[in-house]
Amino acid sequence: MKNYPIVLVSTVLSPLSFLLLVVFVSRGTLIGEAVVGGFILTVFQSGMSLQSDLAHLKNDFKLQDMIVASPTNWLTYIVGLVIGDIIYSLPALIVLTILAYYFLALSIIGTIALIGVLLLMFLVSMAIGYALSTYSSDIVQSFAFSRLLATLFSTIPPVYYPITFIPLPFRYLAYLSPTTYAAELAQSAAGFVQPPLTNIILDWVVLVALTIVLFIVAATKARWREV
């Protein structure tokens, strides 16, 4: 961040560009939903960026070979790296927090729920990023996967707007993305949508279950020692 300040601009502009687009198109009526979507996009991209970092260190610096030969396990390794990704995303999160202060009317429970959703979304993307990084053989390939998945999960699903904006025949397809459940919970926590209690419970169950499943897959299927 110190050597290449331009990366800070890129990190901040990525979620804010979609936010501004939604605000302009909706003439300001969806600014709250767009701020929530900016949070989800930022944490998801932050977790997915772990894939590029790990692939770069594994393929170019052979760091993973040294970690594997040491007493350090895979979880400790990625947690250490992911802390750096969180710091890398702080500028965007700070800007979004300021916007949230003005445009989101969050209660204490709503704030806790929003933080919980973002944490689960970050863990989901982190598990995906780690698993894919162990199969990636080139940093260019890693960047392609990272950008593709970030786009598929963060911009195409109803993250920046309510799912009710999608026509009903296609609405069910949106639930194929985990970010749809996260967005519905986050928008509910901020008071923008009022889904039935059964939907809220189902969203939490899906996100928690998906997080557990992805970490099990990452722990058992990722090529941690076959490098």
Q: Report pLDDT digits (tens) over 42-60.
A: 898 888 888 777 777 777 7
Mean pLDDT along residues 151-170: 85
Burial class of residue 218 (count of CB atoms within 10 Å of its CB; 0-12, 13-18, 19+): buried
pLDDT of residue 227: 43
Residues 22, 28, 33, 39: is their CA dihedral positive or negative? positive
Average pLDDT over residues 125-140: 78
Q: Secondary structure of 75-108 in the HEC alphabet? A: HHHHHHHHHHHHHHHHHHHHHHHHHHHHHCCCCH
Packed helices 31-59 and 139-154: angle between N→C axes, nearest 10 degrees: 160
Lowest mean pLDDT among 12-16, 38-42, 169-173, 191-195: 12-16
Q: Give the residue-averaged pLDDT of 175-190.
A: 93
What is the pLDDT confidence band of residue 150, given thresholds at 50, 70 and 90?
A: confident
Structure-block tokens of residue 196: 């039935």
Going by pLDDT thresholds of 50, 70 and 90, the confidence category of residue 181 is very high
Cα distance between residue 216 and residue 208, in whole Å: 12
- Token representation of residue 79: 């947690």
Rounded Cα gap, residues 48 and 136, in angstroms: 13
177-187 mean pLDDT: 94
Asked whether residue 226 carries a pLDDT value surpassing 60, the answer given is no
What is the reported pTM? Answer: 0.86
CB atoms within 10 A of CB 194: 10
Buried b (16+ CB within 10 A) or exposed e, 115-130: ebbbebbbbbbbbbbb
Q: What is the mean pLDDT of the chain?
A: 84
78 or 56: whose pLDDT is higher? 78
Question: What is residue 96's predicted lDDT score, i.e. its pLDDT?
Answer: 92
Extents of the domains making up the chain:
6-221
**Predicted local confidence at residue 36, as pLDDT:** 94
Q: Within 10 A of 200 (CB to CB), how many other CB atoms are there? A: 17
Name the least confident of 26-35, 60-69, 173-182: 60-69
| Nearest one of 49, 112, 74 to 227, comparing CA atoms | 74
For residue 43, with 0-12 CB atoms within 10 Å meaning exposed, 13-18 middle and 19 or more buried, which class applies?
Answer: buried
Neighbouring C-beta atoms of residue 174, cutoff 10 Å: 18
User: pLDDT-derived band of residue 219, with 50, 70 and 90 as boundaries?
Assistant: confident
